[in-house]
Structure 1
Amino acid sequence: MSETARKASAAPSGEANRWRALVFIALAQLMVVLDATIVNIALPSAQADLGISDGNRQWVVTAYALAFGGLLLFGGRIADLWGRRRAFLIGLIGFGAASALGGVATTGATMFGARALQGLFGAVLAPAALSLLAVMFTDARERARAFGIYGAISGGGGAVGLILGGFLTEYLDWRWTFFVNIPFALVAAAGTWLVIREPEGGRNRSPLDIPGVLLSALGLVSLVYGFTRAESDGWSDAVTIGLFIAAAVLLLAFVVTESRVKAPLLPLRVITERNRGGVYLSLGLAIIAMFGMFLFLTYYLQVVKGYTPVKTGFAFLPLIAGMIAGSTQIGARLMTQVAPRLLMGPGFLTAAAGMLLLTQLETGSSYTGLLLPAQLLLGLGIGTAFMPAMSLATYGVQAGDAGVASAMVNTSQQVGGAIGTALLNTIAASATTAYVKDHIQAATTRPQQQLVRLQAMVHGYASAIWFAVGILVAAAALALTLVNVGRSATHSTTDDAETDMPVITH
């Protein structure tokens, strides 16, 4: 067979392999993303079974968030050092084993440890998944479709977690919110071993930056835990303030260290390039708004409307549908036709319009009249914006920096989630307290007082959602201002592909 004929026959096989690989990468990403919310619905049942105190129950959520957020940069660099496929497999197997440990836990301490291990292996897995996509899909149209699917999963996985968590808790047992990860991990690991072939070269052979690892991990843990403490203990709490000061000092020391060491954990060129910087900042802001919305709508549907956990999960389906449509039908189709900022900016503004509808929330609001159209707008907007953002996250990076550049996306999302939960919840709580103070005296009977408290809760949510609207508008402004590449940013040349990382041209 001639060389030309051999290449022609191999091309379809290579293309098929890439799309098969995407299935397993997407499955792993879904597992990591939904795990941020799936356990939340199961928490009351797990707390009762394991005898976890009210003061300690937060650690079921916090242990995961701290390990995941604190070790993402380390996980990204591990992918660059060891190889993305190998890091991906290690993350999958470790995450599955940690999930099994959580499912069989008989004490609170075992549960906290399992959640921390899930966070650790998730921090290895998530950057490896995104960087594998970046080096495998270099053709413009294929890349658009692949990142459309990936963006939909990254944006909608949290809502999927609410549905799955509610179903498993109500009809099976809370332990299945952990056990469900095991088949995910096994299938994805087997598929990765058989299908995924990482392009040759592009590995970073530099020694690991140990000071950078320690400073970034401690700084990010202090920052995330500071926002977690602010939510539960208040912004004026001495420990909360101390954590924020420690985070500022540690992260400043990290930046200084990275500017001086020969082989930095996070080369500053990764975050100072304006397009990548615009992506990290705008995504972080959008996640702040979205996490607050998840929190408020979950409580609104269950406490005010009286929905069961399963019904609450299914009530988020319009949001998921909107995200899938935004990513795969709008973002993926237009990414090769228009500049990324013309998808990201309008996308965030569409999401802001959906959030604006939710500021009209009242105790008697109609699901079909208000919540459904608001979620559709939110989903369409976020899906459309996330798709090019995920693709640009590795914009122009050297092949050896792909893992840590991917980790920065997850870091901005994780920190954004911590900020959103703490900041918007604090705003809502303050508005609720003020409403009760102003209206409770006029309520003379117990039913009237109960109604005032429900109205106060909803008033608090609506007040905080106004801030979320402003945050999404700010995300749109940042995307339109900082992201300045043209539509050619989604195209790669043959020479680019040979470097294992598409170099995006202006």
Structure 2
Amino acid sequence: MYGRRRVFLWGLALFAVSSLVGGLAASPGVLIAMRAVQGLGAAVLAPATLTILTTTFAEGPARVRALAIWTAVSSAGGAAGNLIGGVLTQSLSWRCILLINVPIGAVAVLAALRLLPADRFRMQGRKLDVPGAVLATLGVIALVYGVTQAQPHGWSGPATLASLAVGVLALAAFVWAEMRATAPLMPPRLVRLRPVWAGNTAMLLAGACFIPMWYFLSLYMQDVLHYGALATGVGFLPHTLVGIAAACLAPAVMHRTGPGH
């Protein structure tokens, strides 16, 4: 609707600017707010990069290789982020792990302007599904907030139950709205496609396993094993290297089994 390159550049700029403001933050509130904006920028960047890849490379081996490289680079970025973040935090300041994104983002913007082709057309007359976006966002935020309230207030606490109820109702309303929207954010017909629901289920399970694991491992290494920031970053290397290796092997596996398996 707005152009792939344009969306990518806006997401990149949003991430870089929020990193700058967060790195210079003088209060926890500003830092937390900028981290939220960073997340928004990253949420824009991730699908934009995949869209650019899938439209640049034709379906087949070339696209599979491109997506595998994208996955490997993402995993390598995780490893580099842990190591570099540990070095910067231990030797300089935690602010540097945010400020380092600014020059990287500036270089990425210049490279995108030079290398990415200009958007050729924009879809006219298509409207954003604002109700669907609001309901989906509200539902997920309410569910996450409800889960976080279970620790201090218990699962039967009013704050926990109210948040979970709002989340469930918002997501139910989202499904209802999508079934009736003229331009739905998530067309219901996509859910019935096997590659879509199977892929999303796999990603949901993978995220449910790996994201909490990274969080708790970080706490364990620093609070129980008393590792420093650098040692904690190094401690994540085996997991990250396995992820990179798996991403490198993915094209060969997909070539043998086919993308639908």
**TM, length-normalised to structure 1:** 0.48
Q: Does 1:122 align with 2:42?
A: yes
> Which moves more between the two structures, 314-323 or 92-101?
314-323
Go from structure 1 to structure 2 and tell me whether the alpha carbon gap of 1:205 and 1:127 turns closer, same or farther (over 3 Å shift).
farther
Q: Which residue of 1 aligns with 2:155?
A: 235
Tell me if the contact between 1:160 and 1:320 (Cα under 8 Å) persists in the aligned partners: no
Match of 2:237 among 293, 317, 326: 317
Q: Which residue of 1 aligns with 2:81?
A: 161
How many residues align structurally? 261
Match of 2:92 among 158, 163, 172: 172
Match of 1:262 among 178, 182, 185: 182
The percentage of aligned residue pairs carrying the same residue is 36
Tell me if the contact between 2:78 and 2:240 (Cα under 8 Å) persists in the aligned partners: no
Q: Supply the AA of the counterpart residue of 2:258.
A: A
Q: Which residue of 1 aligns with 2:136?
A: 216
Q: Does 1:92 align with 2:92?
A: no
Q: Supply the AA of the counterpart residue of 2:194.
A: R
> Which moves more between the two structures, 181-190 or 158-167?
158-167
- Counterpart CA distance in 2 for 1:155 and 1:234 is 36
Q: Note the alpha carbon deviations across 1:158-198, whole angstroms, 9 max, x for none.
A: 45433232211101111111101112211111111110126
Q: Which residue of 2 aligns with 1:47?
A: none
Q: Note the alpha carbon deviations across 1:362-397, whole angstroms, 9 max, x for none.
A: xxxxxxxxxxxxxxxxxxxxxxxxxxxxxxxxxxxx
Whose Rg is larger? Answer: 1
- Counterpart CA distance in 2 for 1:178 and 1:154 is 18
- Counterpart CA distance in 2 for 1:284 and 1:155 is 17
Q: Supply the AA of the counterpart residue of 1:338.
A: T
Q: Note the alpha carbon deviations across 1:232-263, whole angstroms, 9 max, x for none.
A: 54433321221111111111111111111211
- Counterpart CA distance in 2 for 1:240 and 1:153 is 38
Tell me if the contact between 1:207 and 1:263 (Cα under 8 Å) persists in the aligned partners: yes
Residues 106-505 of structure 1 mapped to structure 2, 5 A cutoff: 106-155=26-75, 157-197=77-117, 200=120, 203=123, 205-231=125-151, 233-328=153-248, 330-340=249-259, 485=260
Tell me if the contact between 2:68 and 2:250 (Cα under 8 Å) persists in the aligned partners: yes
Give the 3-state SS of the residue equivalent to 1:335 in structure 2: helix
- Counterpart CA distance in 2 for 1:235 and 1:198 is 51
Tell me if the contact between 1:156 and 1:319 (Cα under 8 Å) persists in the aligned partners: no
Tell me if the contact between 1:136 and 1:199 (Cα under 8 Å) persists in the aligned partners: no
Q: Which has the higher contact order (CA 8 A, sep 6+)?
A: 2
C-alpha deviation, 1:210, in angstroms: 2.2
Runs of 4+, deviation exceeding 6 Å: none
C-alpha deviation, 1:229, in angstroms: 2.7
Give the 3-state SS of the residue equivalent to 1:215 in structure 2: helix
Tell me if the contact between 2:83 and 2:233 (Cα under 8 Å) persists in the aligned partners: yes
Go from structure 1 to structure 2 and tell me whether the alpha carbon gap of 1:182 and 1:226 turns closer, same or farther (over 3 Å shift).
same
Tell me if the contact between 1:99 and 1:182 (Cα under 8 Å) persists in the aligned partners: yes
Q: Note the alpha carbon deviations across 1:2-22, whole angstroms, 9 max, x for none.
A: xxxxxxxxxxxxxxxxxxxxx
Q: Supply the AA of the counterpart residue of 1:334.
A: V
Go from structure 1 to structure 2 and tell me whether the alpha carbon gap of 1:174 and 1:132 turns closer, same or farther (over 3 Å shift).
same
C-alpha deviation, 1:156, in angstroms: 5.6
**TM, length-normalised to structure 2:** 0.90
- Counterpart CA distance in 2 for 1:325 and 1:231 is 37
- Counterpart CA distance in 1 for 2:245 and 2:118 is 29
- Counterpart CA distance in 1 for 2:151 and 2:118 is 42
Runs of 5+ consecutive residues of structure 2 not aligned to the other structure: none
Q: Kindly report the root-mean-square deviation, in angstroms, between the aligned alpha carbons of the 2 structures.
A: 2.2
- Counterpart CA distance in 2 for 1:207 and 1:259 is 16
Tell me if the contact between 1:132 and 1:198 (Cα under 8 Å) persists in the aligned partners: no
